[in-house]
Structure 1
Amino acid sequence: MQMKSWQEVAQRAQTYRDQTIAEISPTVPDAPADLPQNVTQLPSQLLSPREVELTGMVPEEILAALSTGKLSSVEVTNAFLRRAGLAQRLVNCVTEVMVLKALERARYCDEYRAKTGKPLGPLHGLPISVKEHIGMKGLNQNCGFIAWADRVAPEDALILTLLHNAGCVFYARTTEPQCLMHLETASNLYGVTVNPYNRSLTSGGSSGGEGALLGLRGSCLGIGTDIGGSIRSPAANCGV
């Protein structure tokens, strides 16, 4: 069997990512052909006022509204899916979105709230993004290596199990640098994740996909990992 080139492996991963974004409805708007250096204002111009309102809320506000039934998790999750899809087109920060699973989980949260009159847990219906390095059962866990592109996590990481049990909705996975140990987010699989405030600069690393996504409000709460600055660097670089 002929070995695939690294470019073919990378193209397959990127095509899969783009296919997951294409599942978002309504369709995610295209980014302008001539992007400005600072793209932080584009979501408010390209998304609906309602989506901008929802994705502009802080987690505490969203949770308060979700837990009382003032907001539905389906509506909130779909707003963040659309904004995350747009963020990918602006700064290259997402490896996949999980549209069907996320909306199924969001519907479950809404139905549970309607039937019982109480939230599923302290994170009831809240959309949360996750760095790709963190194991999610059945999905890729490649550490940014071309050679590991087909590796999948055998089980969920403990932190995901805890958050799921608390009632959250996982909807997007984000970029990481090859081997993780880098204060810039770049790999042969997905290329370079750039800074939403200045696309000529880095988003930081290794949780740079999370930093860039949160910087563009494509997520209200994201999970990264940090040994030597891998959350602190992107948080600082992206104004989080």
Structure 2
Amino acid sequence: MGVDQEPVTKKTWQELQAAKEAERNARIPEEWKLRPDQLPSEDVVDLRPIVKSCGILSPAELAITGEEYDATSLAAAIAAGKFTAVEVVTAFCKRAAVGQQLCNMLTEIMFADAIQRAKELDDIFASTGKVVGPLHGVPMTWKECFHFKGYDSTNGYMSRVFQPADRTSPLPALLQAAGAVVISKTNVPQTMLVAEAHNNVFGRTRNPVHARLTCGGSSGGEGASQAFRCSALGVGTDVGGSVRIPAACNGVYGYKPSFGVIPMAGYSYSGWPGSNTGVPAVSGPLGHSVRDLALFAAVVRAAEPWRFDPAVAPGVMEGEPAARRPVVGVMRASGIAPHPPVRRAIREAAAKLAAAGFEVREFAPPDLLAVRDISEQLFTLDGLSYPKGECARSGEPPVPSVLAIGFWDLPAKTQEEAWAWNARKGGVQKEMLDEWQRVGCDVVLAPVGPHTAPRPGEWTSDHYTVVWNMCDYPAIIVPFTHADPALDPADVEFKPMNAADKKNHDLYDPELFKGAPVALQIVGPRLGDKQLLKDAELLDSILNGTA
């Protein structure tokens, strides 16, 4: 699973692509494949209803995979004997098969192994009367960058196809030991530094909620998978918004932890080993409720991952969080003005919390455009020598979204330049801490981006998310509303603050964006993850009417 330096084949990248696509298609049973007449036309926006009309899933399977259950309640139903693991895993595999044919979100499909593992779990339950762990029989999907023994770990590079991993990464192995059943890996962008899920190996993933808009990234395949309910719980990684952006684009929940909370050891790097420093990447879940995110964290921390990953800190998630009504700071804009649906979501959420008795205070962050200037330099300290080298090995070109993000041609930095950029990062961290202290808030309510999901390849401004990676604050995505032309008309009196602001404003088309999910980002202080999860569950109950 190390970094290969020599080409492993004489085939062209196009030949490798065709062979990999054939392998993936062969892993979907014929009886789970859609007929040509069941494939939607280009004018169909919401692809999710097709799973109900295609007839591949039974009514019982549609119920198991439907909105009645999140991962937490599904695990409880299996433990109570309401469903067998085979029933649940088979239902989700079938749903994932349909989702794949519509949205192209799966990479390494593991249906046969998953159903076999479910049978083993059922045998254990039948003989002992006990589940093997808190996720017994719960189907999961994982971002392409995690290793699974016997399956490729391409990370979206053609140079790495047909090189199966010889072991499973520690984090998924931990969840499997707790009873989770892995049914597939999910798509990513080439280079893993783009808010998209498009590469030459697997193609582009579509957004199942709004097929004309992006699924986000870099955990874009996972965001689409959760929106289509291909699994009960998914896992991605986040270095600049890569869990939170796809969660928001697809209208699901997501959690970016503080560094040191969830293990990252042994995953498939998208750059040089040892490069996870300037802005460290973290692993985090995507799912269907805040309590699912908390369940994931609790299961991982209960396994004491600091015993195998030296970067994980003990003691930061243990103990009971306070039962409180958190003081909410509200960040409305910085650097680039959000589109009307995002501004409305922040405005309505703040008003709803204030009406429910929460203290709401204005929060003025550092200049987030300057933050983006720093992060893009720290992401490209090597001048992207790793992805350029991987592409050269197979002869594949960079995909358009990789070029659009603006990183490809940035030069490598000297050691002195790297120190200078890290010093500027430290300045942002101090500014953010000072503002947090000035406001006296417990959490911050903020946009996820300056827009909802835009067209594929057009999410190029990550400053509303990457700032929290740079400051190492945990953040949770909560779906809240949808874009509505009647409520969110174009701002005809808009006056741009800068060129980036004008570019973003020009992206907005009320009719195109109609129905796009609009999410909120709830941020907590560094290493305050457990309290944030509790606070976010309370805020979600108020914002989405479950209280």
Normalising by structure 1, report the TM-score. 0.94
Show the 5 A alignment for 1:54-69. 54-56=64-66, 57-69=69-81
Show the 5 A alignment for 1:50-129. 50-56=60-66, 57-129=69-141
Show the 5 A alignment for 1:26-37. 26-30=31-35, 31-34=38-41, 36-37=44-45
Pick closer, same or farther for the CA change 1:135–1:78 going to 2, 3 Å: same
Instruction: Quote the offset at 1:151 in angstroms.
Output: 3.0
Q: In 2, distance between residues paired with 1:77 and 1:146? A: 30
Instruction: Quote the offset at 1:153 in angstroms.
Output: 2.1
What does the per-residue CA deviation read over 1:48-90, in whole Å, with 9 as the maximum and x for residues that have no partner?
2211100012111211111122100101101000100100111
Residue aligning to 1:38: 46
Residue aligning to 2:236: 224
Q: In 2, distance between residues paired with 1:152 and 1:96? A: 10
Residue aligning to 1:15: 22
Q: In 2, distance between residues paired with 1:149 and 1:29? A: 27
What does the per-residue CA deviation read over 1:139-172, in whole Å, with 9 as the maximum and x for residues that have no partner?
1111111112233323111111110110111111
Q: In 1, distance between residues paired with 2:234 and 2:108? A: 14
% identity of equivalent residues: 38
Secondary structure of the equivalent of 1:200?
Answer: coil
Instruction: Report the residue type matching 1:21 in the other structure.
Output: I
Q: In 2, distance between residues paired with 1:18 and 1:175? A: 15
State whether structure 2 residue 191 is matched by structure 1 residue 183: no
Residue aligning to 1:48: 58
Residue aligning to 2:264: none
Q: In 1, distance between residues paired with 2:9 and 2:200? A: 20
Secondary structure of the equivalent of 1:163?
Answer: helix
Q: In 1, distance between residues paired with 2:131 and 2:51? A: 30
Secondary structure of the equivalent of 2:213?
Answer: strand
Runs (4+) of structure 1 exceeding 6 A deviation are none
Superposition CA RMSD, Å: 1.7
Q: In 1, distance between residues paired with 2:250 and 2:96? A: 15
What does the per-residue CA deviation read over 1:177-206, in whole Å, with 9 as the maximum and x for residues that have no partner?
112111111001111111112212110011
Secondary structure of the equivalent of 1:198?
Answer: coil
Q: Which has the larger radius of gyration?
A: 2
Q: In 2, distance between residues paired with 1:191 and 1:88? A: 12
Q: In 2, distance between residues paired with 1:113 and 1:234? A: 36
State whether structure 2 residue 205 is matched by structure 1 residue 193: yes
2:167 to 145, 151, 155: 155
Instruction: Quote the offset at 1:33 in angstroms.
Output: 4.8
Secondary structure of the equivalent of 2:142?
Answer: strand
What does the per-residue CA deviation read over 1:115-139, in whole Å, with 9 as the maximum and x for residues that have no partner?
1111111111111111121011121
Instruction: Report the residue type matching 1:162 in the other structure.
Output: L
Secondary structure of the equivalent of 1:40?
Answer: coil
Please say if residues 69 and 113 of structure 1, whose CA atoms lie closer than 8 Å, have aligned partners that are also in contact.
no
Q: In 2, distance between residues paired with 1:216 and 1:208? A: 12
Which structure is higher in RCO with an 8 Å CA cutoff and minimum separation 6?
1
Q: In 2, distance between residues paired with 1:206 and 1:159? A: 19
Show the 5 A alignment for 1:125-144. 125-144=137-156
Please say if residues 14 and 190 of structure 1, whose CA atoms lie closer than 8 Å, have aligned partners that are also in contact.
yes
How many residues in Structure 1 have an aligned counterpart in Structure 2? 238
Please say if residues 87 and 93 of structure 1, whose CA atoms lie closer than 8 Å, have aligned partners that are also in contact.
yes
Instruction: Quote the offset at 1:3 in angstroms.
Output: 2.4
Residue aligning to 2:353: none
Instruction: Report the residue type matching 2:103 in the other structure.
Output: V
2:179 to 161, 164, 167: 167
Instruction: Report the residue type matching 1:27 in the other structure.
Output: W
Please say if residues 137 and 154 of structure 1, whose CA atoms lie closer than 8 Å, have aligned partners that are also in contact.
yes
Pick closer, same or farther for the CA change 1:168–1:2 going to 2, 3 Å: closer
1:5 to 9, 12, 27: 12
Q: In 1, distance between residues paired with 2:33 and 2:83? A: 22
Please say if residues 21 and 96 of structure 1, whose CA atoms lie closer than 8 Å, have aligned partners that are also in contact.
no
Pick closer, same or farther for the CA change 1:117–1:183 going to 2, 3 Å: same
